Amino acid sequence: MPVLSVDIPVLETERLVLREPRADDMPASSAFMASDRASFVGGGAQAVSRDGARGGEWAAWRGLTSALGHWLLRGFGSWTIEDRATGKVAGRVGFIHHSVWPEPELGWHIYDGFEGKGIAYEAAMAARAAGLRLFGLDRVISHIDAANTRSRRLAERMGAVVERDGELLGQPCLVYRHPAEAAA
């Protein structure tokens, strides 16, 4: 069976490597998707109830295949965040533009043990800058649940502002608009 390939650029920051999603990211992603921290992105109790005893394995698999599918079908997508010092998977960041999304979205997930260290900000800023430089994506949006105060604070720290109330997959959300990126 032929294997498709795509060139996913690697981004590096002072503390992080943003690289292609891999099958061996699954344990870290599954643990995140089974946790309450993932409740705003289709994980938590929702994923566990659909996924049975495997916790967030099914939700993590959907996320992995979706991330890779974006790169193949859209030419952009999300990266796995790897902690440069330890090599551990710290989360995911990048662009989402599913068939039912109105436009490309910048999104992020930070895994247990890596939150509160500025990793989300560092990764999201690197991804946003690369979005313009590599893919021509500027003034992207982020769909954020109004109750997700941590993601809201991050979007605002990045200079994004609430543009409007929205709905995503039948759930109400706030649509944040990111500012124009300066061409690097």
Is residue 49 situated within a structural domain?
Answer: yes
List the pLDDT tens digit at each of the 184 positions of the chain.
Answer: 556 678 899 999 999 999 998 888 877 776 666 655 544 444 434 444 444 545 566 666 676 777 788 898 899 999 999 999 999 999 999 999 988 888 999 999 888 888 889 999 999 999 999 999 999 999 999 998 898 888 899 999 999 999 999 987 788 889 999 999 754 4
Is residue 4 situated within a structural domain?
Answer: no
| φ/ψ of residue 172, rounded to 5 | -70, 150
pTM for this model (two decimals): 0.85
CA nearest neighbour of 155 among 167, 142, 146 = 142
Report pLDDT for 104.
94
Is residue 166 situated within a structural domain?
Answer: no
Report pLDDT for 47.
45
Report pLDDT for 133.
95
Is residue 20 situated within a structural domain?
Answer: yes
CA nearest neighbour of 128 among 65, 183, 88 = 183
Beta strand 171-177 pairing with 89-96: unpaired
Report pLDDT for 37.
55
H/E run at residue 126 = helix 119-135
**For the domain that residue 103 is a member of, what is the CATH number?**
3.40.630.30
β-strand partners of 177: 141, 161
CA nearest neighbour of 20 among 31, 30, 3, 6 = 6
Is residue 39 situated within a structural domain?
Answer: yes
The set of residues, in sequence order, having a beta carbon less than 8 Å from that of 164 and lying 6+ positions away, is 174, 175
Is residue 144 situated within a structural domain?
Answer: no
Report pLDDT for 29.
73
Beta strand 16-19 pairing with 11-12: antiparallel
Is residue 40 situated within a structural domain?
Answer: yes
Residue 126: give the domain boundaries: 11-138
Is residue 44 situated within a structural domain?
Answer: yes
Report pLDDT for 48.
44
Domain count, the chain: 1
Report pLDDT for 20.
93
Report pLDDT for 42.
46
